[in-house]
Structure 1
Amino acid sequence: MPFPSDLPASIQLALTERGYNEPTPVQAAVLDGAGAGRDLLVSAQTGSGKTVAYGLAMAADLLGAPAPLPGTEATEAAPLADRLPAAGTPLALVIAPTRELALQVKTELSWLYGRAGGRVISCVGGMDPMAERRELSRGAHIVVGTPGRLRDHVERGNLKPDTLRVVVLDEADEMLDLGFREELEAILDTLPDPHRTLLFSATVPREIAQMARSYQRDAQRIEVKNEGGGHGDIEHRAALIAPHEIERAVVNLLRLEDPRIAMVFCATRATVNRLHSNLTERGFSAVALSGELSQAERTRALQSLRDGRARVCVATDVAARGIDLPDLGLVIHAELPRDPETLTHRSGRTGRAGKKGISTLLVPYSRRRLAERLLFAAKVNATWGPAPSAETIRAKDNERLAVQALTVTEEESGDDEMAMARTLLETRTPEQVAAALIRTLRGPLPAPEELSEGNDRPRRDFGDRDGSAPGAAPRAPRPEGVWFRASVGRDGNADPRWLLPFLCRRGHVTREEIGRIRILDTETQFEVAQAAATRFASAARKAEGEDAHIAVEIMDPAAVQSFTPRPAGGPGRSGPRAGYGPRPAGTGFRPAGGDRGHGDRPQGGRYQGDRFGGDRGGYGPRRAAGGPARRPRD
């Protein structure tokens, strides 16, 4: 479906020059005649063309006659003009949550109204307010800004809202999440009547609906959904990794996909700085983007991505909205987003304007459940698998280099180049020359990282603890696990409160994959689920950190010590206590959410027996004085 023919010729020409042959669903919805002259409450997925949508929606307000005053009779609408009048006090105001989004909106509206003589200026935090004041005094048709800076200009009299015909709230849900309600209400309360209020938001929670009722009249509700959930142009993936191999997995993903531009999202500024430094050291042309940077630094970083001087952007969620890089083909979630909305907006940086993109979630083994809940809440179907291995990347490199080498050799060579080639072939074989070419092409590529073996294993493949109702048939016993030993025991102050987190970190397993733990004088014997044993053994050999001196190795089954419970009535207790004692044969491992049990305890309250643990984080018996053990921190 083409754009409506009643759009001004200047707008039509601007769309054609930008390659817009037909409107996106959200653009078609706002151009529908039912919404003409009315307030709009629009929700649509990120990357769906919302900026151009409300730019088109306000065309009638900017290029047409002013709306009639309340109580006066409306006259027949005249055709829209091709040119805007001379710039004076603004006719339209666009409010955005972040500096990046505001500047991006300014860029989009500038080309959309450029042929109509439109003047668009920005007022955002981090920029010189005096320079913005001078720009406002020169006149503008459209002002785009962030809530705090716009409120400041309104209260100082620099921005006069008297002539505003339309106001747009872009990413309204994000503005409320960031705490801008007071600023928004202060601005909206100063607007004249009549005016249109266009409210655009990815989601419409209760707070947005309440604001719409307060500041909109007879608003048309427009909801543009993508069938099947998620963005149709984005391929979602989830990769299981070891917790300490996040940076290595990021390197391998960048190397495998080799996108024109990639964005890597982290949760904190500290992580952004560390990951940016590591990628730069490995040979990637990367820039960092976080809230601690000045606006000038952010602008330079984004410009380096657009002009090809940088290919990777490591950013906090400050870049999750409003960053529009047309060639961005890969989004990596190095750390899990805090909520489904953030996941949606991070992923929405790719797959824009009809182009395909990939969004990959890096999921440590212990956080798979959280990742699954995030994906479910965001209505995203992700393909699960391992992070790309070094072997996979080398194979992909061979394919690319073969094509690249053939492309180079097919280019027409000059006489000097041919003479040099003949000289080389006099002293070297063709195979040696070809190998040298491949080596030269491979040289600039960052080396792939070796990841732990078995990183595609499921988190567990054994069922729940036998907790059948009375009278029900007992469940089949589960298989025994694989026994390992650690070179620390009671003499080394071994305690399950720190042993269990240590084993999980060292072996890249979850708590549910650790079975019985037996602390002896000079060593600790423990059981690992069979499905996780290969992964555990591979990871445990690579000792890192302050506990690297503790050796972990697989045991000969004949060397596993049997468990002998202590007699009841020992020192410190008057008799047997319910829930204590040896584990019945064949009960297997503790599942998530299973009943909490306890092992036997020797004199002095030191743990010695089998570990049962619970999903609440308890790692051993109760204290001698009674009450649950303190929850350890891992």
Structure 2
Amino acid sequence: MSAFERVDPALAAALNQRGFTEFTPVQSAVLDKDHGDLLVSAQTGSGKTVAFGLAISRGVIDARNDAEGASPLALIVAPTRELALQVRREFEWLFERTGLRVSSCVGGMDPRSERRALERGVDIVVGTPGRLRDHITRGSLDTTELRTVVLDEADEMLDLGFREDLEFILDAAPQDRRTLMFSATLPRTVTALAKRYQRDAESISVHGERSHHADITYFAHVVAPNERENAVINLLRFHDAPRSIVFCGTRGEVKRLSSRLANRGFSAVALSGELSQSERSHALQSIRDGRARVCVATDVAARGIDLPELDLVVHADLPNDPETLLHRSGRTGRAGRKGVCAVVVGGDRKRSAERLVRGAKIKLTWIPAPSLDQITERDDDRLLNSAYLSGDPDDGERDLAGTLLQRYTAEQIAAAFCRMHRSFLPAAEEISVVAQDESEPKKTREFQDGVWFRISTGRKQKAEPRRLLPIICRSGGITRRSVGSIQIRNSYTLFEIDPDCVVAFWKKISDDGCVEPDLTIEHIGEYQPDESDVENNRRPDNPRKSRGKKHKRPENGRKPRGFKNKAKAKRPAAPKKKRAGKPKSA
């Protein structure tokens, strides 16, 4: 008995050819409900793309067999271009034997090509909310024949502000359609949308939705704040994964780290929101086909993007919440494969990392970052077990090997082999050993004769000490213990540096600048700030410049000498013109 007997034979053949042996829990749950609306809670990586593909297949195949037409029968709405294109790729192999036509409509692509494809006729359309709404408004996308509408990652679409677009699309679809909503979480916004646009929807919550994280081994590495990038390099060298992804918090960090990895010799690509669609597609394809081994990305890649056989996930920056940690980590450990997730933690962020881990309910092992000796030992093990050393030489190799043995000794040949092997490896970095007491956050310190600096962000930019401290440490190549008092003003922040570290700190700032391109750090000398800086006698943008005193009216009620009320000051009267009269008689 086939495991896929509940689906169309063409789909069963495609699943067998793809290597599927059985349905995942979410796929089985969706197939059990072959009619009516569904509200499905399932995590990324649980097989939900194939699940809603199977869910729409029966209605689409039957409807297309009954009557040939050009209008689409199913519509899939995804939050991002990458996820929409990924769904299209999945559907292309799933429905290849059925003859169904699949097309995509996403932002960043040529809309004219999409309109031509829609005019030729398609059965299933996958797209992003904004582009789908544009096609519907222009009349190029006909929604009158839709049998099923699927909202993939509904919670993320609402978080990204697509609610109005989603409501427009659902209002344009026929009232008797089938509506399927898939979401990693079910916040109030998702349930409210489901209540409005679904009819007697059945809820499916896959209790084993976090089971795919059981195949992931989690490690955390406490490092000095200024050695975060060095730790990332050593992790990539130590694990030597065929495909890895490194997550950063900002676009600037992605650009900086990807450039450094490329200069070091890693085959790395960047993936962030500032790239064009073609650049992002090229980066993903480079990872998929093996031309690149490391992808440095922001959280734009945390949801929905499928990178097959991804063995290592590195969190260079801590995510903002446990859900993001799980979504990032879920890029590995998929389809029964084992994966490794490494979290790089600055010494001042250990408690934040512990809170994230508790919220995500994962087991984390705290170990030091890989050292030079550990990486060298791992390289030697790989060399001794290299595939180049196995097997018998062929005729051409045997002749050359004999010539080498005649000219050189076996030890010389082995040494040359070792040198050639190591010449292709990027150099590792020295990592400081962070003591346990230094990994705990410290209270604000004050230094005797400390030197004050100013960074160009303050209350107006929502600056916080816990956000500024890593930037200061990484910019100046210092640790948390070298930073004293941090005092945030309206449009800038003052911070104190240990006098023993000032020379090295200022030299690195002068040479490299701030790690955040939008910020600048200035030296203000020995000025000691206090709370009066934010009062009327000091300008917040210039701590040395006084505002001056206001004039006060004396007790006798008279205005002081020299006082002028500009609001009531009158302009000097214009000179009167002489009237023209009769000339005087002589």
TM-score, structure 2 normalization: 0.77
| Cα separation, 1, equivalents of 2:29 and 2:279 | 37
Amino acid at match of 1:396: R
Which residue, 392, 404, 428 being the options, matches 1:424? 404
Equivalent residue number for residue 581 of structure 2: none
TM superposition shift of 1:444 = 0.3
Which residue, 426, 431, 434 being the options, matches 1:451? 431
Amino acid at match of 1:347: S
Equivalent residue number for residue 23 of structure 2: 23
Higher mean C-alpha displacement, 145-154 vs 5-14: 5-14
TM superposition shift of 1:86 = 3.9
| Cα separation, 2, equivalents of 1:15 and 1:353 | 14
Which residue, 508, 519, 522 being the options, matches 2:479? 508
RMSD over equivalenced CA pairs, Å: 3.5
TM superposition shift of 1:411 = 2.8
| Cα separation, 2, equivalents of 1:8 and 1:50 | 18
Matched, 1:41 2:23: no
Matched, 1:386 2:384: no
Equivalent residue number for residue 433 of structure 1: 413
| Cα separation, 1, equivalents of 2:116 and 2:399 | 64
- Give runs of aligned pairs for residues 266-305 of structure 1, distance below 5 A: 266-305=248-287
List per-residue Cα deviations over 1:363-419 (Å, max 9, x = no partner): 111112222222222222222222111111111001001111xx3233332444333
Are the counterparts in 2 of residues 234 and 357 from structure 1 also a CA contact under 8 Å? Answer: yes
Matched, 1:220 2:215: no
Query: What secondary structure is seen at the aligned counterpart in 2 of 1:546?
Result: helix
TM superposition shift of 1:497 = 10
Higher mean C-alpha displacement, 105-114 vs 351-360: 351-360
Matched, 1:258 2:240: yes
| Cα separation, 1, equivalents of 2:498 and 2:47 | 60
Equivalent residue number for residue 231 of structure 2: 249
| Cα separation, 2, equivalents of 1:541 and 1:419 | 64
Are the counterparts in 2 of residues 385 and 456 from structure 1 also a CA contact under 8 Å? Answer: no
**Distance change (3 Å), C-alpha of 1:302 and 1:117:** same
TM superposition shift of 1:525 = 8.9
| Cα separation, 1, equivalents of 2:210 and 2:128 | 34
Matched, 1:201 2:183: yes
Amino acid at match of 1:29: A
Query: What secondary structure is seen at the aligned counterpart in 2 of 1:163?
Result: coil
TM superposition shift of 1:319 = 1.2
Which residue, 172, 183, 189 being the options, matches 1:190? 172
**Distance change (3 Å), C-alpha of 1:391 and 1:60:** same
**Distance change (3 Å), C-alpha of 1:426 and 1:60:** closer
TM superposition shift of 1:213 = 0.6
Equivalent residue number for residue 614 of structure 1: none
TM superposition shift of 1:459 = 2.4
| Cα separation, 1, equivalents of 2:72 and 2:481 | 59
| Cα separation, 2, equivalents of 1:459 and 1:247 | 17
Equivalent residue number for residue 580 of structure 2: none
Equivalent residue number for residue 314 of structure 1: 296
| Cα separation, 2, equivalents of 1:120 and 1:548 | 54
Equivalent residue number for residue 89 of structure 2: 107
**Distance change (3 Å), C-alpha of 1:506 and 1:171:** same
Higher mean C-alpha displacement, 339-348 vs 282-291: 339-348
| Cα separation, 2, equivalents of 1:44 and 1:348 | 12
| Cα separation, 1, equivalents of 2:395 and 2:212 | 56
Are the counterparts in 2 of residues 229 and 380 from structure 1 also a CA contact under 8 Å? Answer: no
How many residues matched? 499
| Cα separation, 1, equivalents of 2:22 and 2:66 | 24
Which residue, 126, 140, 163 being the options, matches 2:122? 140
TM superposition shift of 1:229 = 7.3
Query: What secondary structure is seen at the aligned counterpart in 1 of 2:98?
Result: coil
Which residue, 41, 59, 62 being the options, matches 1:61? 59
| Cα separation, 2, equivalents of 1:428 and 1:292 | 54
Which residue, 377, 382, 392 being the options, matches 1:412? 392
| Cα separation, 1, equivalents of 2:217 and 2:156 | 25
**Distance change (3 Å), C-alpha of 1:110 and 1:413:** same
| Cα separation, 2, equivalents of 1:546 and 1:134 | 59
Equivalent residue number for residue 10 of structure 2: 10
Which residue, 361, 364, 367 being the options, matches 2:343? 361
Are the counterparts in 2 of residues 44 and 203 from structure 1 also a CA contact under 8 Å? Answer: yes
TM superposition shift of 1:8 = 1.1
**Distance change (3 Å), C-alpha of 1:606 and 1:434:** closer
- Give runs of aligned pairs for residues 167-178 of structure 1, distance below 5 A: 167-178=149-160
Query: What secondary structure is seen at the aligned counterpart in 1 of 2:337?
Result: coil
**Distance change (3 Å), C-alpha of 1:621 and 1:154:** closer
| Cα separation, 2, equivalents of 1:288 and 1:373 | 29
Are the counterparts in 2 of residues 326 and 353 from structure 1 also a CA contact under 8 Å? Answer: no
Higher mean C-alpha displacement, 96-105 vs 408-417: 408-417
Higher mean C-alpha displacement, 326-335 vs 145-154: 326-335
Equivalent residue number for residue 329 of structure 2: 347
Are the counterparts in 2 of residues 289 and 298 from structure 1 also a CA contact under 8 Å? Answer: yes
Query: What secondary structure is seen at the aligned counterpart in 1 of 2:311?
Result: strand
| Cα separation, 1, equivalents of 2:503 and 2:52 | 55
TM superposition shift of 1:243 = 1.4
Query: What secondary structure is seen at the aligned counterpart in 1 of 2:179?
Result: strand
Query: What secondary structure is seen at the aligned counterpart in 2 of 1:149?
Result: helix
| Cα separation, 1, equivalents of 2:4 and 2:212 | 28
- Give runs of aligned pairs for residues 472-483 of structure 1, distance below 5 A: none
List per-residue Cα deviations over 1:157-215 (Å, max 9, x = no partner): 11111110100000011101111011001111111021111000111111111111111
Amino acid at match of 2:426: P
| Cα separation, 1, equivalents of 2:256 and 2:533 | 44
List per-residue Cα deviations over 1:56-90 (Å, max 9, x = no partner): 1112221235xxxxxxxxxxxxxxx9x68645101
TM superposition shift of 1:241 = 1.5
Structure 1: stretches of 5+ with no match in the other structure: 66-80, 465-480, 515-522, 527-539, 550-604, 608-619
Which residue, 129, 139, 162 being the options, matches 2:144? 162
Query: What secondary structure is seen at the aligned counterpart in 2 of 1:161?
Result: coil
List per-residue Cα deviations over 1:521-580 (Å, max 9, x = no partner): xx9799xxxxxxxxxxxxx7994553799xxxxxxxxxxxxxxxxxxxxxxxxxxxxxxx
Instruction: Judging by fraction of residues, say which structure has more helix.
Output: 2
Query: What secondary structure is seen at the aligned counterpart in 2 of 1:328?
Result: coil
**Distance change (3 Å), C-alpha of 1:110 and 1:86:** farther
Which residue, 321, 336, 344 being the options, matches 2:318? 336
**Distance change (3 Å), C-alpha of 1:511 and 1:112:** same
Amino acid at match of 2:479: H
| Cα separation, 1, equivalents of 2:166 and 2:44 | 22
TM superposition shift of 1:316 = 1.4
| Cα separation, 1, equivalents of 2:362 and 2:226 | 26
Are the counterparts in 1 of residues 212 and 334 from structure 2 also a CA contact under 8 Å? Answer: no
Query: What secondary structure is seen at the aligned counterpart in 1 of 2:367?
Result: strand
| Cα separation, 2, equivalents of 1:398 and 1:304 | 28
Higher mean C-alpha displacement, 370-379 vs 432-441: 370-379
**Distance change (3 Å), C-alpha of 1:48 and 1:440:** same
Query: What secondary structure is seen at the aligned counterpart in 1 of 2:439?
Result: coil
Amino acid at match of 2:418: I
Are the counterparts in 1 of residues 368 and 433 from structure 2 also a CA contact under 8 Å? Answer: no
Query: What secondary structure is seen at the aligned counterpart in 1 of 2:257?
Result: helix
Equivalent residue number for residue 507 of structure 2: 546
Amino acid at match of 1:426: Q
Equivalent residue number for residue 323 of structure 1: 305
Are the counterparts in 2 of residues 263 and 314 from structure 1 also a CA contact under 8 Å? Answer: yes
| Cα separation, 1, equivalents of 2:121 and 2:437 | 62
Query: What secondary structure is seen at the aligned counterpart in 1 of 2:378?
Result: helix
Query: What secondary structure is seen at the aligned counterpart in 2 of 1:240?
Result: strand
